[in-house]
Amino acid sequence: MHATAYCQYGTTASGTLTRRGIVAADPRVLPAGSLIRIKSPVRGYSGKYRVEDTGGEVKGHVVDIYVPDCISAKRFGRRIVQVHLLRRGPDVQLAAK
């Protein structure tokens, strides 16, 4: 999959506050609540994440990793990462909320 990083602080599409350990994803690919493991070539980005957000540019096989530092998010750019699904979230569209 491709990965990008974002730094916008606020409320996620699932209603929680943005924080380390969450990603935005296309709910048709990774529904909210899914638990994934990312293996990244960039130090500090590999680990377990929970899908709690969506985004206008997050379509298809892309994850957008939340980081609190905008400079780091920009430096991350767009990378190819390995994503392993550990637990699939419920098939509920966030837009229906």
Amino acid at the residue 52: E
Question: Could you tell me if residue 95 is inside a domain?
Answer: no
Question: Could you tell me if residue 97 is inside a domain?
Answer: no
Q: How far apart are CA 97 and CA 87, in angstroms?
A: 22
Question: Could you tell me if residue 24 is inside a domain?
Answer: yes
Domain count along the chain: 1
Question: Could you tell me if residue 61 is inside a domain?
Answer: yes
Question: Could you tell me if residue 96 is inside a domain?
Answer: no
Question: Taking the mean position of all CA atoms in its chain, how far away is CA 31?
Answer: 11
- CATH code where residue 55 lies: 2.40.40.10
Question: Could you tell me if residue 68 is inside a domain?
Answer: yes
Residue range 35-48: mean pLDDT, rounded: 95
9-13, 26-30, 60-64, 87-91: range with lowest mean pLDDT: 87-91
Question: Could you tell me if residue 11 is inside a domain?
Answer: yes
The pTM for the full model equals 0.88
pLDDT tens-place string over residues 73-87: 999 999 999 999 999
Domain encompassing residue 86 = 2-90
Q: Assign 56 a pLDDT band (cuts: 50, 70, 90).
A: confident
**pLDDT for residue 1 is more than 50:** yes
